[in-house]
Amino acid sequence: MHEAAIVESALELILAKAEEHHLTKIRRITAKVGELSGALPEAMQFAFQNASQGTIAEGSDFTIEQVEATASCGSCGITFPIRFYHPVCPSCGGLDNQVLTGYELYIDTMEGD
């Protein structure tokens, strides 16, 4: 389960930032996870519950916002949702497409006292 390693690394950074800002309790954390990132939000939730035990993040609201995967067609210029890594433009059938979103995997916000 690579989600556990991802969450543990993220939690290290979160706790370091909390210490830097003199927080004694983390109340809420928001993560952005793209559909193409390979990370499963449910597994990340589970890993966070386990990894945060005994830390100032224990019991915090760990929210995962899933980012839709989109691409832009290099031929006709439209932006369209995708579900796989090598998208075909639904408008012109073009293959010269650039993935715009979907690979995100980061902590977006953190709130605490």
Tell me if 89 is assigned to a ligand binding site.
yes
The answer to whether 86 is a known ligand-binding residue is no
Report the SS3 class of residue 109.
strand
DSSP string, 20-34: HTT-S-EEEEEEEEE
Q: Which amino acid is at 92?
A: C
Q: Is 2 annotated as a binding residue?
A: yes
Are 101 and 69 spatial neighbours (Cβ–Cβ below 8 Å)?
yes
Most distant pair of Cα atoms in the chain: their distance: 55
76 is in an annotated binding site: yes
Residue 92 in marked binding region: yes
Residues at the binding site for Ni(2+) are 2
Residues at the binding site for Zn(2+) are 73, 76, 89, 92
Residues at the binding site are 2, 73, 76, 89, 92
